[in-house]
Amino acid sequence: MVKNEERVGIVSRLGSNGEGVLKDGDFTVFVPYALPNEKIKYRVLKVKKNVVFAKVVEVYTPAEERVRPACSVYEKCGGCQLQHLKYKLQLKLKSKIVKECFSKIAFINTSVPMTERSELEFGYRNKLQLPVRAENFGCEIGFFALGSHRIVPINSCPIQPEWCTRIIKAVKKYVKLNNVSVYSDKVGFGLLKHVVVRAVDGRLLITFVINGDTLPYVNELIAILKEYFNDFSLFVNINKLGNNVILGDRFICLFGRDKVMTTDCGIKYEMGPESFMQVNDNVRRRIYQETVKISGVDEETVVIDAYSGAGMLTAIFAQRAKKAIGIEIIKEAVDCADSLKKINGLWDKMENVCAPCEDALPVILEREKLTGAKTVLILDPPRQGVDEKLINVIKEAKPEKIVYISCSPQTLARDVGLLTDTLKREGNDLIKNNEPNPIYELTEVKPYDMFPQTKHVETLVCLARKV
């Protein structure tokens, strides 16, 4: 097979990125936006040994499961991968991906229930990050095309709430009426780079990220924003670096309150423009509630919340347990957790540690073991999962329960395989352990649809100590 060749085939299944997969002779062909049982014409983009990456040219027989994507730039933007698939089947696919990761990566055959649906299939995101760029002799606002700095211009985005459309209109109007300079990647010059928005309880925290020291025509901008929004705060963020990081360190509040006080799962908290919060409010709350439920904590339990972010879950546990200890590497997030502790009066019940889990967790596990307390460990690591040495420390310390929240089914399966002894290390490889002697038993696997229309899935897992 050669690049640009066009061929016809029938898609046999969906792959783990939501793409169609088919067999063509000795080749396995991956075709994004194609569905099982569809007869398609595809164009070869890249051949790597017997794996082919291709693009749909024509769908001859659309599958029953196919729906018209809600987005006009769906295949160009690359932010969503599953909009062409009925929502119920998106949920089914995500459960299948989780199940396959457990069986293929960790040799664990476990039943995985249907992925918990999101209350909102569209318009669910509470956060928006829009690049603004000087392109085609004008200002373009949209999203970067996958793996590039080329803007795909948009007027709206179906996975964002309706306010996204008004933000785009307001930014365009401000730039046009005031002739505001806009950043260009090609020359590394120009002022306005990004507009970042967070929605908290109906109030928008709007940040203009600039490559400079001051935002011009602020009064004019506030007047324009007032035409579109009743309740908002305006910030400027200074980021003069030409790298891929969106936000700089400094936020300056130009209008409205700099923090919004709100309540979630019984915890009062302050949200600023830089605060970390999972993007789907409804699903986030359900995951927190289920985490508390399956952890079975009582007033005698010590909870260690590893990779604790801004400390929301640590605070929720601190209200119910003897004590909750959060461990987080980012200082600003730990400051937020400290403010949660203060606002909610959790003085002697919540401890926030700013350190890598690799350093702090072994010490804290050992310390709590010496007190003889019943210990529950929460793990909510980033995509790369938990460090293998740390997993070995956890197995030695044997907390009574481990609740693992993960945004990567692949690293989740690997880590659960190591914790339940179905995997062992041999040199550079992790291989099947044929003589397992497990300390932990996998008691629950529950996928949640935090990110509808995309390939991403959040999974909650519970491990209970056997001995």
Alpha carbons 333 and 412: distance in angstroms, whole number: 23
Tokens of 339: 């403010």
CB neighbours of residue 102 within 10 Å: 25
In the complex with ligand SAM, which residue's Cβ is closer, 83 or 411?
411
Q: Could you say which of 134, 327, 413, 445 contacts ligand SAM (CB under 6 A)?
A: 327
Q: Does 330 engage in binding with ligand SAM (CB under 6 A)?
A: yes
* Cβ-defined contacts of 361-365 (< 8 Å, 24+): 361/304, 361/306, 361/327, 361/390, 361/393, 361/394, 362/390, 362/393, 362/397, 364/304, 364/325, 364/327, 365/304, 365/393, 365/394, 365/397, 365/399
Alpha carbons 339 and 147: distance in angstroms, whole number: 37
Q: Does 391 engage in binding with ligand SAM (CB under 6 A)?
A: no
In the complex with ligand SAM, which residue's Cβ is closer, 309 or 417?
309
Options 77, 164, 357, 407, the catalytic residue? 407
Q: Which of residues 246-305 bind ligand SAM (CB under 6 A)?
A: 278
Q: Does 232 engage in binding with ligand SAM (CB under 6 A)?
A: no
Q: Which residue is nearest to ligand SAM (CB)?
A: 309
Q: Does 307 engage in binding with ligand SAM (CB under 6 A)?
A: yes
Only segment of 7-15, 62-70, 140-148, 377-385 that touches ligand SAM (CB under 6 A): 377-385
C-beta separation of 233 from 258 below 8 A: yes
Q: How far is CA 460 from CA 48, 278, 379, 381, 409, in A?
A: 35, 15, 10, 12, 10
Identify whether 407 is a catalytic site residue. Answer: yes
Q: Does 417 engage in binding with ligand SAM (CB under 6 A)?
A: no
Sheet holding 203-210, edge to edge: 151-153, 138-144, 127-135, 192-200, 203-210, 232-238, 250-255
Q: Could you say which of 356, 389, 441, 443 contacts ligand SAM (CB under 6 A)?
A: 356
Tokens of 231: 């309740």
Helices (H), 240-397: 281-295, 312-320, 331-343, 357-370, 388-397
In the complex with ligand SAM, which residue's Cβ is closer, 133 or 414?
414
Shortest spacing between CB 383 and ligand SAM, in angstroms = 8
C-beta separation of 19 from 81 below 8 A: yes
Q: Does 451 engage in binding with ligand SAM (CB under 6 A)?
A: no
Q: Does 44 engage in binding with ligand SAM (CB under 6 A)?
A: no
Shortest spacing between CB 324 and ligand SAM, in angstroms = 12
Tell me the number of residues near ligand SAM by CB under 6 A.
18
Q: Does 20 engage in binding with ligand SAM (CB under 6 A)?
A: no
Only segment of 196-204, 215-223, 375-383, 429-437 that touches ligand SAM (CB under 6 A): 375-383
Helical axes 312-320 vs 281-295, angle rounded to 10°: 40
Q: Could you say which of 237, 308, 339, 352 contacts ligand SAM (CB under 6 A)?
A: 308
Only segment of 108-116, 117-125, 182-190, 329-337 that touches ligand SAM (CB under 6 A): 329-337
Q: Does 415 engage in binding with ligand SAM (CB under 6 A)?
A: no
In the complex with ligand SAM, which residue's Cβ is closer, 337 or 442?
337
Q: Does 309 engage in binding with ligand SAM (CB under 6 A)?
A: yes
Q: How far is CA 202 from CA 100, 164, 237, 255, 259, in A?
A: 39, 13, 22, 17, 13
Shortest spacing between CB 382 and ligand SAM, in angstroms = 5
Q: Does 394 engage in binding with ligand SAM (CB under 6 A)?
A: no
C-beta separation of 7 from 24 below 8 A: yes
In the complex with ligand SAM, which residue's Cβ is closer, 85 or 306?
306
Only segment of 201-209, 326-334, 430-438, 451-459 that touches ligand SAM (CB under 6 A): 326-334
Only segment of 1-9, 142-150, 363-371, 374-382 that touches ligand SAM (CB under 6 A): 374-382
Tokens of 165: 């459309």
Q: Does 333 engage in binding with ligand SAM (CB under 6 A)?
A: yes
Q: Does 380 engage in binding with ligand SAM (CB under 6 A)?
A: yes
* Cβ-defined contacts of 420-425 (< 8 Å, 24+): 420/106, 420/108, 420/463, 422/106, 422/107, 422/108, 423/106, 423/107, 425/388
Q: Does 329 engage in binding with ligand SAM (CB under 6 A)?
A: yes
Q: Does 195 engage in binding with ligand SAM (CB under 6 A)?
A: no
Q: Could you say which of 40, 357, 377, 419 contacts ligand SAM (CB under 6 A)?
A: 357
Strand, coil or helix: 105: helix
Alpha carbons 262 and 298: distance in angstroms, whole number: 26
Helical axes 163-178 vs 218-228, angle rounded to 10°: 150
Q: Which active-site residues does the annotation give?
A: 407
Q: What is the binding site for ligand SAM (CB under 6 A)?
A: 278, 307-310, 312-313, 327-330, 333, 356-358, 380-382
